[in-house]
Structure 1
Amino acid sequence: MFHWKLASVATALLLVAAGSAATRADTPQVAITYIIDHPAIDATRKGIIDELAESGYKEEETLKLHVQSAQGNMPTQLQIAREFAGLGADLLVGISTPSAQALQSAAGDIPVLFSAVTDPVGAKLVASLEAPGGSITGVSDRQPFGPTLKLIKALVPDVKTVGVIYNAGEANSVSQVEALTKELATHGLEIAESTAAQTAMVADAALSLADRADVILIPTDSTVVAAVESVVNVGRKAKVPVFASDTDSVERGALAALGFDYYKLGRLTGQMAVRVLQGESPASIPVATLKTQDLYLNRSAAAAMGVRLSEELLASATKVVD
Structure 2
Amino acid sequence: MGKKGHWLFIFIILLTALIMTPSSSKLFAKKVLRIGVINFITHPALDACQKGFMDQMAQEGYIDGKTVQYDISNAEGDMSVVASIAKKFVSQKKDLIFSITTPCTQAVAAATKGTGIPVIFGAMTDPVAAKVAESWERPGGNVTGCSDWMDVGAQVKVVKEIVPGVKVLGTIYNAGEVNSRVQIAELKKAAPGLGIKKIVEVNAASSADVLAAAKSLMGRVDAVWFPTDNIVTSALEALVKVCEDNKVPLFGSDVNQVKRGVIASCGIDFYELGKEAGKMAKQVLDGRNPAEMPIKKGKMGDLWVNPSAAKRMGITIPQAVMAKATKVINK
2:235 corresponds in structure 1 to: 227
Question: Compared with structure 1, are the counterparts of its residues 14 and 88 closer, same or farther at alpha carbon in structure 2 (3 Å cutoff)?
Answer: farther
Counterpart residue number, 1:236: 244
1:19 aligns with 2:25: yes
Cα deviation digits, residues 184-236 of structure 1 (max 9, x gap): 12223120001011011111111111111111112001011111111111110
Q: What is the match of residue 12 of structure 2? A: none
Q: Is the 8 A contact 2:258 2:329 kept in 1?
A: yes
Amino acid at match of 1:72: G
User: Gapped runs of 5+ residues in structure 2?
Assistant: 1-16
Q: Identity of counterpart residues, as a percentage?
A: 40
CA positional deviation for 1:315: 3.2
Q: TM-score, normalised to structure 2's length?
A: 0.90
Letter of the 1:66 partner, please give it.
Answer: D
Aligned to 2:192: 185
Q: CA deviation at 1:242?
A: 0.8
**Alignment partner of 1:287 out of 283, 290, 295:** 295
In 2 relative to 1, CA 23–71 (structure 1 residues): closer, same or farther, beyond 3 Å?
farther
Give the 3-state SS of the residue equivalent to 2:303 in structure 1.
Answer: strand
Quote the residue 2:75 is aligned against.
70
Equivalent of residue 159 in structure 2, options 134, 152, 155? 152
Q: Which amino acid aligns with 1:288?
A: K
Q: What is the TM-score normalised by the length of structure 1?
A: 0.93
Cα shift at 1:20: 4.6
Equivalence for 1:96: 101
Question: Of the two, which has the highest radius of gyration?
Answer: 2
The Cα RMSD (Å) is 1.6
Secondary structure of the structure 1 residue equivalent to 2:184:
helix
Residue 209 of structure 2 aligns to a residue whose secondary structure is helix
Give, in whole Å, the separation in 2 of the partners of 1:222 and 1:193.
16
**Which of 162, 171, 174 is the matching residue for 1:167?**
174
Q: Which amino acid letter does the alignment assign opposite residue 104 of structure 2? A: S
> 1: CA distance between counterparts of 2:276 and 2:71?
19
Deviation digits for residues 4-26 of structure 1, max 9, x if unmatched? Answer: xxxxxxx89972454257637x1
**Bigger shift: residues 301-310 or 116-125:** 301-310
Match of 2:321, SS state, is: helix
Partner of 2:141: 134
Q: What is the aligned partner in structure 1 of residue 61 from structure 2?
A: 56
Hey, what's the Cα distance between the residues in 2 that align with 1:171 and 1:292?
21
Range that drifts further, 183-192 or 36-45 = 183-192
**Structure 1: distance between partners of 2:230 and 2:124:** 10
8 Å CA contact retained: 2:48, 2:274: yes
Deviation readout 1:137-186 (Å, 9 max, x if unpaired): 11111111121122111111110011111111111111111111111122
Number of aligned positions between the proteins: 311
1:217 matched to which residue of 2?
225
Q: Which position in structure 2 is the counterpart of 1:307?
A: 315
* 3-state SS of 1:208 partner: helix
Residues 141 and 35 from structure 1, CA distance in 2 versus in 1: closer, same or farther, beyond 3 angstroms? same
